[in-house]
C-alpha cells in the first residue's frame, strides 16, 4: 500500500514538487489527517461492491481511501492544474477515473452510465465539498434523480447544522426541509480546522445523508411545496401569514377563510415558519395549492 497522501509531510512534498498554489476562489483546503479519512469511509459504509462519486479530489487524499474501500471511484475535479498531479499521487490505484469537469455543469447521470455501467448497487457520493458551493451541489444531486443511495459530505459545520436541524431550532430552515424531504440526515462527527492545509477559519462536520424510500409526507406538487417552504422563511421573524401574503398577495383578501380552514387542519397562521414540521408544510402546501387553483 502506498504512503498516505494525507500527512503534513507528504502533502507539502506534493505541493512543492508541482509548485502548486492554493486558489482561494475554489475553496481549496486539503486534509492532512488519515484518521479522519478512514472515519469518513466508515461513515459512508463502503465495500468492494460499491461505486463512489467524489467531488473535488484535490491531490487525492480522500480519493485513495475511497479507492481502497470501494469497487470504483469516479471523481470530478474542476481545477485543470490538478489533472497533472492526480495520475501521479493515485498511480497505485487502477479503479479511479478523474474527470476535469464542474459537477454543476455536467450530466452526472450520463457520466454514471458511461463510467460505472457495471455497478451492481446504487452509487454513493463521498466528498470534501468547497464551502462556497456546498448547497448548490447537494441540491442539484438531489433533484437530478440519480441512482444514488447515500451521500457523505465534509462541509462547514454551520451548514451541516442547518441540513440536520429539527423544527423550532435556530438552524432549521428551508434548506433543512429541501434535503430532509429526500434524505434521512445524520451529523456524524466534527472535524477541527487544524487538520487542513491551509487551515480554514471554521470547523467542519461530516454529514451522512441516506435516501428515503418515501418522503416523510405526501405532497401534491413538489415545486409548490418548496416554494411555500422558502416563502415561510423569507423573513424569519414574521408570522407564517405575513410571509405567505408577501409571496402570494392574492391571499390577503381571503384571510378569514384561509385562516379558518388552516385552523381546521391544525395550522395556526400566526405561527412562525420555523415551528412547522415537514408534514405540516405538506398539509399547508396541499391546501393552498388547491385553494389558489379554485
261: domain CATH number is 1.10.8.100
Measured CA to CA, the distance from residue 165 to residue 142 in angstroms comes to 18
Using the 3D structure, point to which of 166, 188, 211 is the last residue of a domain.
Answer: 211
For residue 68, name the pLDDT band (cuts at 50, 70, 90): very high
For range 166-184, the mean pLDDT: 97
Has residue 214 got a pLDDT over 70?
Answer: yes
166 grid coordinates = 429539527
Same domain, 164 and 123: yes
Binding residues for S-adenosyl-L-methionine: 29, 31, 56, 77, 102, 128
pLDDT in tens, 243-262: 999 999 999 999 999 999 99
pLDDT at 1: 54
Same domain, 51 and 174: yes
Same domain, 25 and 117: yes
Q: What percent of the chain has pLDDT over 90?
A: 90
Same domain, 169 and 279: no
Which residues have a Cβ under 8 Å from the Cβ of 120 and sit 6 or more positions away? 49
pTM, full prediction:
0.93
The values of phi and psi at residue 167, to 5°, are -55, 155
User: Which among 91, 39, 46, 45 has a CA at the least distance from the CA of 64?
Assistant: 91
Q: Is 19 left (phi over 0), alpha (psi -120 to 50) or beta?
A: left
Is position 217 within any domain? Answer: no
User: How many domains does the chain contain in total?
Assistant: 2
What residues make up the domain containing 245? 222-293
pLDDT in tens, 80-124: 999 999 999 999 999 999 999 999 999 999 999 999 989 999 999
Q: Name beta bridge partners: 98.
A: 75
Has residue 190 got a pLDDT over 90?
Answer: yes
Binding residues: 29, 31, 56, 77, 102, 128
pLDDT in tens, 217-226: 999 999 999 9
pLDDT at 2: 64
Is position 147 within any domain? Answer: yes
Is position 134 within any domain? Answer: yes
Report the residue count for the chain: 294
Tally of CB atoms within 10 A around 238: 16
Amino acid at each position: 500500500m502506498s504512503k498516505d497522501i494525507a500527512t503534513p509531510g507528504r502533502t507539502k512534498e506534493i505541493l512543492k514538487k508541482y509548485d502548486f498554489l492554493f486558489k482561494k476562489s475554489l475553496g481549496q483546503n486539503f486534509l492532512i489527517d488519515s484518521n479522519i479519512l478512514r472515519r469518513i469511509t466508515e461513515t459512508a459504509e463502503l465495500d468492494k461492491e460499491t461505486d463512489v462519486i467524489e467531488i473535488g479530489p484535490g491531490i487525492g487524499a480522500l480519493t485513495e481511501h475511497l479507492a481502497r474501500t470501494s469497487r470504483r471511484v469516479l471523481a470530478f475535479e474542476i481545477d485543470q492544474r490538478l489533472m497533472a498531479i492526480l495520475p501521479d499521487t493515485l498511480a497505485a490505484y487502477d479503479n479511479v477515473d478523474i474527470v476535469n469537469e464542474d459537477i454543476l455543469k455536467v450530466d452526472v447521470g450520463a457520466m454514471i452510465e458511461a463510467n460505472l455501467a457495471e455497478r451492481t448497487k446504487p452509487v454513493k457520493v463521498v466528498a470534501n465539498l468547497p464551502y462556497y458551493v456546498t448547497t448548490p451541489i447537494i441540491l442539484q444531486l438531489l433533484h437530478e434523480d440519480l441512482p444514488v443511495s447515500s451521500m457523505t459530505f465534509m462541509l462547514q459545520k454551520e451548514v451541516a447544522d442547518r441540513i440536520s436541524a429539527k423544527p423550532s431550532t435556530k438552524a432549521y430552515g428551508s434548506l433543512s426541509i429541501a434535503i430532509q424531504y429526500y434524505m434521512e440526515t445524520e451529523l456524524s462527527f466534527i472535524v477541527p480546522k487544524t487538520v487542513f492545509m491551509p487551515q480554514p477559519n471554521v470547523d467542519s462536520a461530516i454529514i451522512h445523508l441516506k435516501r428515503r424510500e418515501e418522503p416523510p409526507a405526501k405532497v401534491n406538487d413538489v415545486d409548490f411545496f418548496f416554494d411555500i417552504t422558502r416563502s415561510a422563511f423569507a423573513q424569519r421573524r414574521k408570522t407564517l401569514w405575513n410571509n405567505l401574503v408577501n409571496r402570494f398577495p392574492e391571499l390577503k383578501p381571503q384571510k378569514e377563510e384561509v385562516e379558518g380552514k388552516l385552523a381546521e387542519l391544525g395550522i395556526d397562521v400566526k405561527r412562525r415558519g420555523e415551528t412547522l414540521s415537514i408534514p405540516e408544510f405538506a398539509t399547508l402546501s396541499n391546501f393552498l395549492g388547491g385553494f389558489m387553483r379554485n
